[in-house]
Chain A
Amino acid sequence: MDNHNNIHSLEMKFQSKIDAEVKIEPKDWMPEAYRKTLIRQISQHAHSEIVGMLPEGNWILRAPSLRRKVALLAKVQDEAGHGLYLYSAAETLGISREELFEQLITGKAKYSSIFNYPTLSWADIGAVGWLVDGAAIMNQVMLTRTSYGPYARAMVRICKEESFHQRQGYEILISLSRGTEEQKKMLQDAVDRWWWPALMMFGPNDSASTHSEQSLKWKIKRKSNDELRQDFIDATVLQANYLGVKLPDPNLKWNEERGHYDFGDINWEEFWAVVNGNGPCNKLRLKARKKAQEEGAWVREAAMAHAEKRAKRKAEKVA
């Protein structure tokens, strides 16, 4: 068998495993493109968890009560953990942590464009938990069934932790909805600003999405961008009604025939502008990551020096 035929038969075997719902594990043979797609997607996901801490971290010191503060602190801490689970999953594919950080800081790798929007008021923290974590959960629940084992396992762990994020956000909004006129206004304003960017989190329409088809065939994704977006909208309208907020879309209405909500057009120009670096906070976010990386360098070095000293001391004791 020549090399070309060999690859072809490996690919056939690979796809038949996927079709039979057998998970792919790190040392298994996989097509280079599958590996590349996963590294891109998982690292992008990891970076999103890490950069996602920034807009929320912005409010930890200004949380209105101790209850809110410990909740937000715990949530942001969870997101750091999510970043770690995902970086580890990406590393099983043969890329190093340093390389991954490098790609984030140089802008070579993307992260979810939602985190390039600012958190202007306390209501934004509620809206982020409700809508941004809510949209992320839709995507992540699907990914617990992704074909790559380490990615799927990271997602199971993440989903277990994620539900409190959405609930704490929604609880913040319930408080505001029962508050003063000013608080109600704050709530509506936050929802007005976060609704559309949250819908953009699912990515371009299926017809315009370049990676979708192959990803579905490889079962990296199990549902398309548009399906997930629709699921999210259908689940969220009722929750919005309970809060007494108006979702900022005049075309949003129940379609009896489809059994789904219809909704208006998404501003894809805005989406691409933010993806390409021109959102309100892109530069700020990267600057903060770069600063953390640089200013943390001495801590990483000190830990290593400490480890070496400790090992030496142990060795001397034995001798």
Chain B
Amino acid sequence: MDKKEWPLWEIFIRSKSGLSHKHAGSLHAADAEMAIENARDVYTRRNEGVSIWVVKSSEVIASDPEQEYMFESAKNKIYRHPTFYDIPEEVGHM
């Protein structure tokens, strides 16, 4: 097959105004406009969205899952969480 194949797109859907776009899945389409049309047809058939983003899969840059140390340093920093601090109950909600 020497014909060029349709590229792969990642689809992000905003389910309603006020919420972020969320990854819904991926699909093949000849270009961005057609990717949006296809995404409308497969990923919003039951009113799942009010807005669609499409991103060419080949343009997503991802972190390397082998480099686990990337997320190590946050693990032992429990003092970044509110529950780390002792506040007497009498003070009320803080």
Contacts and interface: CB of A to CB of B under 8 A. Distances in A.
Contacts of B28: 97
A116 B66 CA distance: 44
B27 A88 contact: yes
A12 to B, nearest CB: 16
Given A85-B25, A88-B27, A97-B28, A303 B34 contact: yes
Contact of A78 (B5, B6, B45): B45
Contacts, number: 52
A11 to B, nearest CB: 15
Contacts of B81: none
Interface in A75-100: 77-78, 80-81, 84-85, 88, 91, 96-98
A300 B62 CA distance: 30
Nearest to A305: B30
B62 A27 contact: yes
Contacts of A300: 3, 6, 30
Contacts of A27: 62, 64-65
B5 A98 contact: yes
B38 to A, nearest CB: 9
Interface residues of B, number: 22
A304 B62 contact: no
Interface in A283-319: 300-301, 303-304, 306-307, 310-311
Contacts of B34: 303, 307
A239 B35 CA distance: 42
B4 interface: yes
B42 interface: yes
A34 interface: no
Contacts of A306: 30-31
A277 B23 CA distance: 39
A157 B65 CA distance: 25
Nearest to B38: A84
A96 B79 CA distance: 47
A80 B41 CA distance: 11
A96 B1 CA distance: 13
A25 interface: yes
Given A98-B1, A306-B30, A310-B31, A154 B62 contact: no
B86 interface: no
Interface in A41-66: none
Interface string B32-63: 01100000001001100000000000000010
A37 B80 CA distance: 42
15 contacts: A29-B66, A80-B42, A81-B42, A84-B25, A84-B27, A88-B8, A88-B26, A96-B5, A153-B25, A154-B25, A300-B30, A303-B30, A303-B34, A307-B30, A307-B31
Ranked nearest first, the 10 interchain pairs of A and B with the lowest CB-CB distance are A307-B31, A307-B30, A303-B30, A81-B42, A88-B26, A304-B30, A27-B65, A28-B65, A84-B42, A304-B4
Given A29-B65, A78-B45, A307-B30, 7 more contacts: A84-B25, A88-B25, A91-B26, A96-B5, A98-B5, A307-B34, A310-B33
